[in-house]
Amino acid sequence: MNRTDHTDPAGLNLDRETAVLLVKVGKYPLAHGPVGAVRSLGRAGVPVYAMVEDRLTPTALSRYLTRAFVRPTTGRERTDRLLAVVQEVGRTIGRRCIALPTDDEAAVLLAEHAEELSPSFVLPPVPAGLPRRLANKGAMHAICEEHGVPAPVTLAPGDHDELLAAARTCGYPMVLKNLEPFTRLSRPAVSHSTIVRDERELLAACPPNGRLSVLAQEYLAPERSEDWITHLCCGPGGEPLAVFTGQKLRSYPPSGGFTTRAVSVPNPELAELAVRLCRALGYSGIADLDWRLDLRDGRYKLLDFNPRTGAQFRLFETADGVDVVRALHLSLTGRPVPRGPQLHRFFGVGQLDVLSAAVTYWQDRRPLPDLKPRRSTERAWLCRDDPAPAAVMALRFGGQGTRRVAGYAGQRMAKGLALGGSK
């Protein structure tokens, strides 16, 4: 890969002798989170390696990547096979490096097999079974109840009778999510977080003859709530090294997908909630938490705890140049992590944010905020010093988002026509 000498623009003096491997399980070549990690560390002169689907993924073409390892996986492989793949990559790199998971399955694999991986990799000392519990939506809700963290009404039905009962408890609209890691890849109950508005939509999403590995959750409507996020990096015992908070402005798919537009906003109350939970759990490493502020009672309610790097982590950086991946690298190499204030800036995911805005406007028929470009925006793809990932993303995957939004809009239009005809 293209590799040139770089100097740390923030002057953090990261250890350039300790490399990083981005570890992934599953197929998501359009992901921008790994590209952000490669750029953040690579600009500081840290050697970065990545597991990728093929050599034409955007991550593989970043000028800041030292080497791409083409190791496609689906998440349906046996654990010993996945573990062997990571170990083989580690042996090929030839020196001990930090393993950075970019999805829940990779986080679970690394934590549960830290001892076997220790000859090749440096890992945060997270309790072995904790990432699996946090990535399991039902177990995560039980953790919230145990530690007094507010959360929406959440149920994990064991069969379809319990699913219908859960709908009566939560009410419609209701949110459906895949319950647990690995199963969401091998046998997904829903393609993504899905809003169902009545029993007909519920049974269409989860047919009675299908396998049920799904979470039912109370839907907090946009007019009565706000979406917030917390990204943080914790040291041993859950001690915070870097904590960031921000507000999600748009997502794709709307009201249930990943962030396409967000703004960094200091929120001490929310930061303290996240820190308190991580300390109680002894969580160590990077985490991405999704919250919803329920305007009915003024409480922040935890929706998801992702025990890995979040896709939009580059929204957040301190005045000292620290983001969560740099904080982890500093910590695991025995260097201090500066504690400067977080910068105020925006984050945008290019054409997917345009599509999200278009769908939201078509659906709600209301003006949308923050449509104009801002100089303070950190862009997921466009980047003057690293243009290749954006170019290959546009060429290879440009039609994918258009097809998806067309399908989504068609579904919404069909439902609207059906409702109109029933009146």
| Count of domains for the chain | 1
Q: Which two tokens stand for residue 136?
A: 């399991």
**Is residue 345 in some structural domain?**
no
pLDDT value at residue 188: 87
Q: Kindly report the CA angle at 311 between 139 and 16, in degrees rounded to 5?
A: 110
pLDDT at 413 over 90: no
**Measured between alpha carbons, how far is 170 from 166 in angstroms, rounded to an integer?**
6
pLDDT tens column, 249-303 = 988 877 667 899 999 999 999 999 999 999 999 999 999 999 999 999 999 999 9
**Is residue 109 in some structural domain?**
yes
Q: How confident is the model at residue 141 (pLDDT cuts 50, 70, 90)?
A: very high
Q: Which domain holds residue 84?
A: 20-129
Quick one: average pLDDT of 90-117?
Answer: 97
**Is residue 146 in some structural domain?**
no
**Is residue 106 in some structural domain?**
yes
Closest CA to 131 of 272, 305, 290: 305
CB neighbours (10 Å) of residue 263? Answer: 18
Can you give the pTM of this predicted structure?
A: 0.90
Phi and psi at 318, nearest 5°, equal -90, 170
Amino acid at 140: M
**Measured between alpha carbons, how far is 164 from 162 in angstroms, rounded to an integer?**
5
pLDDT tens column, 154-206 = 999 988 899 999 999 999 999 999 999 999 888 888 888 899 999 999 999 88
**Residue 64 belongs to domain with CATH number:** 3.40.50.20
pLDDT value at residue 356: 79
**Is residue 330 in some structural domain?**
no
**Is residue 331 in some structural domain?**
no
Lowest mean pLDDT among 2-11, 109-118, 390-399: 2-11
Q: Which two tokens stand for residue 201?
A: 């939509």
pLDDT value at residue 404: 52
**Measured between alpha carbons, how far is 380 from 311 in angstroms, rounded to an integer?**
9
pLDDT value at residue 209: 74
Quick one: average pLDDT of 335-346?
Answer: 95
**Is residue 101 in some structural domain?**
yes
pLDDT at 27 over 80: yes
Q: Which two tokens stand for residue 102?
A: 């970019």
**Is residue 327 in some structural domain?**
no
pLDDT tens column, 43-63 = 999 999 999 999 999 999 999
Lowest mean pLDDT among 4-8, 115-119, 376-380: 4-8
